[in-house]
């Protein structure tokens, strides 16, 4: 049965695209979109400054702004208010700073595009400007600040990790999960053409037939993890700290779980359209709620209960434990996640096997 499943897979050219090339394309796109803007080293905000009536206060502020390395002036010289507003509207700059028109004036203007009001760049510019103003206040009062903040980032990984590492492992988990969820669509096609009916009339065991299909998809998962890792490390500079045993357990456990879920979907889907619709709903739900792109803790508090019951959450965490955190095999949290995934996998496979033996097969006799 395994040999037959392999031949069936190689005959379908679409399998190579959706299981090999599409995950790579998807990861590259998300790495470019999300990975490029998360590093503080590469952060730059483009601004312009309005100084309609230069004075001593505005001159000090202008020099302070020029000294901030994270801010880039579109024009070294101050611009008119009309020109600055036009740049903001056209999104040529991230923010327009209006210096006080009178000596000793307390208000400094910050103009931003309404569409970018909640963006990270806008918030960063506002925070930088606030720091500059606070420094000016101390200078005017002749006081020296007594307290400062010393920030240091630490991680449970062997070395500091980057967002690229976080996103790489999340995308690997998502690709393997989608390969399992969508990989059993050929079973629906076989039922539609009456092939499952003929197979059921032979001594072949349907549970072994489904298991052989899951193992073939497991092989594809191995190809996916190797290929995506190479793209992440070579193309985007991801740093990995691998615990081989932890990684193997997380990978094999997660791959089998999602293949079992795909097997279950195929057991009750009467058409390929129905199968794809159900698989897409499950995939989209888990994609954005399982910590693939951002930590689960960033979700609203009332929504954080949902990821705790989704198998992809624990699969992605397991992959990160094995690939970037180098988590020891005796970690209790790791095995709790594996256990919860196992519940999903066993329940899905047992239910699917029963449906194939009864309702799904008898309906096509």
**148 belongs to a structural domain:** no
The answer on 276 and 178 residing in a single domain is yes
| pLDDT, tens digit (0-9, with 9 covering 90-100), for 185-212 | 777 877 778 777 787 778 877 778 777 8
Q: What residues contact 257, with CB distance under 8 A and at least 6 apart?
A: 180, 311, 315, 341, 342, 344, 345, 348
Residues 99 and 19 in one domain: no
Q: Do residues 132 and 273 share a domain? A: no
Q: Tell me if 264 sits within 8 A of 59, measured CB to CB.
A: no
Regarding whether 49 and 180 lie in a shared domain, the answer is no
Examine residue 229 and state whether it is found in any structural domain, yes or no. yes
Last residue of a domain, one of 77, 106, 141: 141
pTM to 2 decimal places? 0.68
Residues 292 and 179 in one domain: yes
Residue 360's pLDDT is what? 45
User: Would you say residue 146 lies in a domain?
Assistant: no
CA distance linking residue 303 with residue 308, whole number of Å: 10
Q: How far is CA 3 from CA 9, 353, 360, in A?
A: 10, 20, 24
CA–CA separation, 305 vs 34, rounded Å?
Answer: 25
User: Which DSSP helix (H) or strand (E) runs through 265?
Assistant: helix 244-268
Is residue 207 domain-shared with residue 96, that is, in the same domain?
A: no
Residue 71: is its pLDDT beyond 70? yes
* Any domain includes 312: yes
Query: 171 lies in which domain range?
Result: 2-37+162-362
Residue 111 located in a structural domain: yes
Q: Which of 73-87, 143-157, 165-179, 307-321 has the highest mean pLDDT?
A: 307-321
The pLDDT value given to residue 364 = 46
pLDDT at 40: 44
Judge if 201 and 91 occupy the same domain.
no
Whether pLDDT at 361 is above 50 = no
Q: How many residues are given for the chain?
A: 365
Tell me which range, 55-59, 86-90, 249-253, is most confidently predicted by mean pLDDT: 249-253
Specify if 320 maps to a domain.
Answer: yes
For residue 364, the Cα-to-chain-centroid distance in whole angstroms is 41
CATH number at residue 48: 3.40.190.10
106 and 243 share one domain = no
| pLDDT (tens digit per residue) in 274-299 | 888 898 899 888 988 888 888 888 77
Is there a single domain that holds both residue 167 and residue 304?
A: yes
- Cα–Cα distances in angstroms (integers) from residue 60 to residues 97, 136, 149, in the given order: 14, 8, 24
**Does residue 298 lie within any of the structural domains?**
yes
Q: What is the DSSP letter of 294?
A: S
pLDDT value of residue 142: 66
Please, which pLDDT band fits residue 120 given cuts at 50, 70 and 90? low
The pLDDT value recorded for residue 104 is 62
Q: Do the Cβ atoms of 45 and 73 come closer than 8 Å?
A: no
What are the residues facing 47 on neighbouring strands?
Answer: 73, 95
50: β partners? 79, 98
Q: What per-residue confidence (pLDDT) applies to 111? A: 87
Residues 53 and 97 reside in one and the same domain:
yes
Q: Is 6 helix (H, G, I), strand (E, B) or coil?
A: helix
Are residue 30 and residue 51 in the same domain, yes or no?
no
**pLDDT of amino acid 176:** 87
Residue 340 and residue 227 share a domain: yes
Number of domains in the chain: 2
Is it the case that residue 94 has pLDDT exceeding 70?
Answer: yes
- 180-217 core/surface letters (b: 16 or more CB in 10 A; e: else): bbbbbbbbbebbeeeebeebbeeeeebbebbbebbbbb
pLDDT per residue as tens digits for the range 325-336: 888 888 888 999
Spatial CA neighbour of 258 closest among 194, 200, 319: 319
């Amino acid at each position: 049965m395994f040999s037959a499943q392999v031949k069936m897979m190689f005959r379908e050219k679409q399998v190579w695209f959706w299981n090999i090339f599409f995950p790579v394309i998807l990861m590259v796109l998300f790495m470019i979109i999300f990975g490029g803007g998360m590093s503080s080293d590469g952060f730059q905000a483009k601004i312009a400054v309005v100084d309609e009536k230069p004075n001593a206060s505005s001159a000090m502020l202008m020099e302070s702004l020029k000294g901030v390395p994270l801010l880039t002036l579109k024009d070294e010289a101050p611009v008119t208010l009309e020109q600055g507003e036009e740049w903001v509207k056209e999104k040529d700059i991230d923010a327009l700073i209006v210096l006080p028109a009178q000596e000793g004036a307390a208000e400094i203007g910050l103009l931003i595009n309404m569409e970018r009001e909640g963006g990270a760049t806008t918030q960063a510019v506002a925070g930088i400007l606030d720091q500059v103003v606070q420094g000016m206040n101390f200078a005017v009062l002749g006081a020296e600040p007594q307290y400062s903040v010393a920030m240091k980032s630490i991680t449970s990984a062997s070395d500091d990790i980057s967002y690229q590492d976080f996103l790489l492992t999340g995308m690997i988990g998502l690709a393997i999960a989608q390969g399992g969820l969508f990989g059993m669509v050929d079973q629906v096609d076989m039922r539609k053409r009456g092939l499952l009916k003929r197979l059921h009339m032979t001594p072949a065991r349907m549970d072994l037939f489904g298991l052989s299909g899951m193992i073939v998809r497991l092989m594809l998962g191995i190809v996916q993890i190797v290929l995506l890792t190479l793209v992440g490390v070579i193309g985007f500079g991801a740093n990995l700290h691998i615990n081989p045993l932890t990684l193997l357990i997380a990978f094999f456990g997660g791959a089998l779980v999602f293949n079992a879920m795909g097997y279950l979907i195929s057991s009750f889907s009467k058409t390929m359209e129905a199968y794809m619709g159900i698989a897409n709903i499950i995939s989209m739900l888990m994609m954005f709620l399982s910590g693939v792109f951002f930590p689960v803790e960033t979700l609203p508090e009332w929504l954080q209960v949902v990821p705790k019951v989704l198998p992809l959450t624990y699969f992605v965490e397991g992959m990160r434990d094995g690939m970037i955190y180098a988590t020891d095999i005796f970690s209790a949290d790791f095995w709790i996640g594996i256990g919860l995934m196992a519940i999903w996998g066993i329940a899905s496979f047992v239910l699917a096997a029963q449906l194939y033996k009864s309702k799904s097969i008898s309906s096509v006799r």
